[in-house]
A and B are shown apart, each in its own frame.
Chain A
Amino acid sequence: MPETGMNAYSTGGVVKVPGTGTSTYSKVLILIPALNEEGAIGDVVRRVKEVMPGAAVVVVDDCSRDATVSVARGAGAEVLPLPHHLGLGGCVQAGYKLAFELGYQYVIRVDGDGQHDPADIPKVFETLRGSECEMVIGSRFLNGSENGTSVLRAAGIRFFRMVLRPILGKAVHDPTSGFVGVSRSALEVFSRSFPLEYPEIEALVVLQRRRFRFIEVPCRTLPRRTGRSSITPMKSIYYIVHVLLGVFVNVLKYERRIPKESRRT
């Protein structure tokens, strides 16, 4: 496992060698998947760099048709532009693969639309570093309510909480959160195998099947700055069916043979 430097290099005068910088956050890569987010991405990158000085900030651009790439670079982010549109899962996995290759120990993913408050990133990081969990979820609903979400989405979230509870062996309040921190061991798994469409829920099951642990920390959600959610009411139905199938396919995979008592919860 490359602790430092195997694939590292310097760019723009900033040495990008994970773990060798003086900053607390030098082993952290902030991953921001983005698609047509030129209106928000600049502020998101700047805010992330303010709260996580020394951390690498990589925007993975899923073939935006606007100026997302140039705005992100202008704000000081590294950009990983995909050659063609891969969807959210493929986009995030590309970032995970890059982070794994570069030897980063922690990756924290935030959305490029500005809905996740960057001020919560240090909290996610400290929890990830201080706990023995492989994944930390920035949860919007840790108190059990779904304020600020549509009725349909809230119903979907409740439904998946119910489905996931027996599979994960513990409650998850915000299974659809895109504000997620992962350790290097989870990064290794995700760089090899990551759900491609609507990945958040399935990713939890992928990790659980490998006996990894997760924890939720409360995080704030900000109003979307630009654009709108890609999940429409019609797509919600497809989403539920698709994710449900994905969850059960992952449950049925070979890891089911792991004895229950040996699983870490």
Chain B
Amino acid sequence: MDRLLNAMTGLSVLLILLVLVSVRRARIRVEYSVSWLIGAVALLVLSRSHDLLNSIAGLLGVTYPPLALILLVGCVFLVMFYRFSVIISQLKDDNIALAQRVAILEYHIRACKDQATTS
């Protein structure tokens, strides 16, 4: 059990570092790093606090506490994936509308230039 929890701790520390470095390098926007950091810190705290983890496992009716931790982490990431799917879909819609608008404006500009040339 301790070995699994230690692995969880290591994973959470790595995740925190990865997210912080990514934010510093502007690869992730701050607003999108918050949910990752909250998830990683929660994982870190739960993997180090056996009493808290045992209580949660008891509430969930899980006899093996690390399994409760994995379940919680899975749920958190599921919610995050859903949230990011919503964001990506919105961005894709915006991107398509923007590309269409750019194309139509370029079409108008070209037509105006042609008109100016011929008149």
**A positions within 8 Å CB-CB of B:** 7, 9-13, 16, 60, 78, 80-84, 86, 90, 93-94, 97-98, 101, 196
Contacts and interface: CB of A to CB of B under 8 A. Distances in A.
Contacts of B99: 82-84, 86, 90, 94
Contacts of A12: 114, 118
Interface residues of B, number: 16
B112 A9 contact: yes
Contacts, number: 51
Given A90-B100, A196-B96, A78 B115 contact: no
A10 B118 contact: yes
A83 B118 contact: no
Nearest to B118: A13
Given A82-B99, A83-B99, A90-B99, A9 B111 contact: yes
15 contacts: A9-B111, A9-B115, A10-B118, A78-B107, A80-B103, A80-B104, A81-B103, A82-B99, A82-B103, A84-B99, A86-B96, A86-B99, A90-B99, A93-B96, A93-B100
A12 B116 CA distance: 10
A86 B100 contact: yes
Q: Which of B107, B114, B115, B118 is the most central at the interface, judged by chain A CB atoms within 10 Å of its CB?
A: B107
Contacts of A83: 99, 102-103, 106
A16 B115 CA distance: 11
Given A86-B96, A196-B96, A94 B115 contact: no
A183 to B, nearest CB: 21
Interface string B85-106: 0000000000010011011101
Contacts of B118: 10-13
Contact of B96 (A13, A78, A81, A90): A90
Contacts of A93: 96, 100
Contacts of B112: 9
A253 to B, nearest CB: 16
A86 B97 CA distance: 10
B104 A10 contact: no
A94 B100 contact: yes
Given A86-B100, A90-B96, A98 B107 contact: yes
Given A10-B118, A11-B111, A16-B111, A81 B100 contact: no
B115 A10 contact: yes
Contact of B104 (A9, A90, A97, A196): A97
Contacts of A78: 107, 111
**Looking at B99, B100, B107, B118, which has the most chain A CB atoms within 10 Å of its CB?**
B100
A138 to B, nearest CB: 25
Given A94-B103, A98-B107, A11 B96 contact: no
A82 B100 contact: yes
A80 B110 CA distance: 10
Contacts of B111: 9, 11, 16, 78
A12 B104 CA distance: 18
B38 to A, nearest CB: 32
